[in-house]
Structure 1
Amino acid sequence: MTEAPRRRRLGRGAVEVTELGFGAAGIAGLYAPVGEERARQAVDAAWEAGVRYFDTAPHYGLGLSERRLGAALRGRPRGEYTVSTKAGRLLVPHAGGGDDLADGFAVPATHRRVWDFSADGVRRSLEESLTRLGLDRVDVVYLHDPDDHGEQAFGEAYPALERLRAEGVVGAIGAGMNQAEMLTRFVRDTDVDVVLCAGRYTLLDHRALDALLPEAAARGVSVVAGGVFNSGLLADPRPGARYDYARAPGAVLERALRLQEVTERHGVPLRAAALRFPLGHPAVAGVLLGARSAAEVRDAVGLLRCPVPDALWAELRAVGLLPDHAPVP
């Protein structure tokens, strides 16, 4: 039997996550439809493999991710798993028809997303998430993509999260973004427990290494690394592959192919090295990996346990593909 992923604590609080977390955007039809049974089987496979951290958001499939995740976890011992969701987008009923593919999800456009980082918006978002999940509490709430809403996020949304934590409504609070700079500000200027950094601490993109990760380590804030395959490029580097949700530029694709050449020379799949790399930093509590099926979950668990020799990391440094100061597992 495969060894279960290890547990790590978020920040200085009591909330724990497994080092491999289940990202639930995929089961909500990210880029392509996913049926109910296939989604349920993906969550079941994660549970059977020992994964106990599940991340979702209202944004994912216009609430479908939360509904499916809640249904799949129903009946599981509540004290054994950690759920995180997000606030910042409220879902408003929409009768216009069509689909949600413009926002990346192959689901009917039954709602539209409205940005809201007000204190009332945060509480309302959480209440609606709990209803969709069928839970009486979530363990972690992240402010979701406040890039263009910094003033309201810091002035209204963050204090609301702080109050929710003080009231015991949630166990840990933070922010989740596809950038490192504003997350660094959250670490420096607030009392967050954790930040979710998507795509900015990977084998391909090391931007979080300069300021975010050192600040987090110094202040006792945990980092969860998402997007470790950079939208799939590090899972299968080929022409037409996605990088940061769009077609990979030529220079980025070339770098990914060079990474693959090195890892395969050491007998290691690029996916395994990409999944393992972020866990080498002491500030990183875990990695989130999106999965659409039970097979993808089982593959991820296998990759996590794939041995990566020190010589591989040394060669990546020697050829300039990995910074000398980047810690490795």
Structure 2
Amino acid sequence: MIDLHTTVQIGDTGLRVPRIGLGTASLGNFLRPISDEDATAVIARALDRGIRYLDTAPLYGHGLAERRVRAAIADIPRDELVISTKVGRLLREGAPRDESQYFDGEPFYKDVPSAGPVWDFSEYGIRRSVEESMQRVGVDRFDILHLHDPDDHFDQASTTGYKALSELRADGRVQAIGAGMNRTPVLTELVRECDLDVILLAGRYTLLDQSGMDELLPMCARRATSVVAGGVFNSGVLIDPEPGTTFDYVPASPEVIDRARRIRGICDRHGVPLAAAAVQFPLAHPQVCSVLLGPRSLGELDMDLGLLSVDIPAALWADLRAADLLRPDAPCPE
């Protein structure tokens, strides 16, 4: 049983985050649109169920997710919440098309406002991004700020971007700073070169993919950098590994589906839903402070929260190791 009220300290800061948080990419019309009312209802239900950590970003729905967070938290005392957002993109009219946000000619975010994301990791861009996010979310501060997807912008992110975040932290305008992305090489270098309190690692420390253990998580351990694990279902394949499912937001390959099915087969033998093992697994790593859930509906939220109370026998993890489906050095829940 994972307690929603249990908190863990971020790095060497005084900030504590709950073990379970709510990610809001899907609530920003990721892959398919949902209404303001339905998105706000998911956040409100999560708050009612005890979730107090919300992660958002300007990219998510081109501001939709941040505005929907604002609507849902209006009656919640600010001090009861941990809220993180991201910097590195400003929303501007006439923004050039960013091919990283498209697949097969279609955008990942559907039915979004016309102002699109423009890369900007300058000191001015970071500070402006924070101010605009505060307006959209309706808060006067954030607890965590992440450099967002700086894969192709390492030089600027690690210099001017990091400098701006470091100054905001020193001024007390934010408690923890970090970086969030789904590829590990640049993230490892940012942890190595910058004084980051936390990172948000999406999809690279999961039941299917533990590649974050190669270099990134050991570097985080050396630097006392906490890890928030996102994308723990690898965008769907660890919920229902059937043809047509997705991995890293695009159709999963036959090889990925086969590996996920083999994991599911072992879970089935132990009477454990694959998704339950997927959501509970990352929390056993000592660097992982929190796991983000990313439901897009009330039904998905209730399902996700129910997975947290599933009892998983130690034999399941042992069988996964024996089948070479889990790294021998990967910590497992007790």
State the alpha-carbon separation in 2 of the partners of residues 70 and 107 from structure 1.
19
Distance, in Å, in 1 between the alignment partners of 2:236 and 2:5 is 22
The answer as to 2:91 corresponding to 1:87 is no
2:15 corresponds to which letter in structure 1? V
Partner of 2:47: 47
User: What secondary structure sits across from 1:275 in the alignment?
Assistant: helix
Q: What displacement does 1:140 show?
A: 0.5
| 8 Å Cα contact 1:94-1:109 kept in structure 2 | no
- What is residue 29 of structure 2 aligned with on the other side? 29
Query: Which residue in 1 is equivalent to 2:10?
Result: 10
* DSSP 3-state at the match of 2:186: helix
Contact between 1:44 and 1:294, CA under 8 Å: does it hold in 2? no
Q: What SS does structure 1 have at the residue aligned with 2:14?
A: coil
TM-score normalised per structure 1? 0.95
Coordinate RMSD, CA, aligned: 1.7
Secondary structure (helix, strand or coil) at the match of 2:292 reads strand
- SS of residue matched to 1:328: coil
Q: Separation in 1 of the partners of 2:208 and 2:253?
A: 13
* Contact 2:88/2:126 (8 A) holds in 1: yes
Q: Give 3-state SS (helix, strand or coil) of 1:288's partner.
A: strand
- 2:291 corresponds in structure 1 to 287
Conserved in 2, the CA contact under 8 Å of 1:229 and 1:274? yes
Give CA deviations for 1:201-246 in whole Å, capped at 9, x if unaligned. Answer: 0011111112211221232210001111111111111001111111
Q: Does 1:210 align with 2:223?
A: no
Q: What are the within-5 Å matches in structure 2 for residues 275-314 of structure 1?
A: 275-314=279-318
Offset of residue 5 of structure 1:
4.3
Structure 2 CA distance, aligned partners of 1:303 and 1:166?
39
Gapped regions of structure 1 (runs ≥ 5): none
1:157 aligns with 2:161: yes
Determine the C-alpha separation between the residues in 2 that align with 1:305 and 1:181.
Answer: 34
Letter in 1 for 2:71: A
Change over 3 Å in CA distance of 1:5–1:273 after alignment to 2: farther
Identity of aligned residues (%): 49
1:124-273 aligned at under 5 Å gives the runs 124-273=128-277
- Aligned-partner SS, 1:208: helix
The code of the aligned residue for 2:117 comes to R
Equivalent residues, number: 326
Q: Which runs of 4+ in 1 moved over 6 A?
A: none
Match of 1:84, as an amino acid? S
Letter in 2 for 1:45: R
* 1:26 aligned partner, one-letter code: S
1:103, distance to aligned residue in structure 2 (A) = 3.3
The code of the aligned residue for 2:69 comes to: L
Q: CA deviation at 1:295?
A: 2.0
Measured in 2, the distance between the counterparts of 1:3 and 1:90 equals 36
1:137, 1:146 → 2: CA distance? 23
Aligned partners of 2:4 and 2:19 also within 8 Å: no
1: CA distance between counterparts of 2:18 and 2:149?
A: 23
Deviation at 1:95, TM superposition (A): 9.8
Query: 1:49 touches 1:298 (CA, 8 Å); kept in 2?
Result: no
Equivalent residue number for residue 319 of structure 2: 315
CA separation of 1:70/1:260 partners in 2, compared to 1, >3 Å: closer, same or farther?
same
Residues of 2 paired with 1:47 and 1:297: CA distance?
11
Mapped to 2, the partners of 1:213 and 1:142 lie a distance apart of 17
TM-score by length of 2: 0.94
- Alpha-carbon distance in 1 for matches of 2:222, 2:3: 31
Matched-pair contact (CA < 8 Å) for 2:158–2:193 = no
Aligned to 2:271, the other structure's residue is in SS state: coil
Unaligned runs of 5+ in 2: none
AA matched with 2:9 = R
SS of the residue 2:160 aligns to: helix
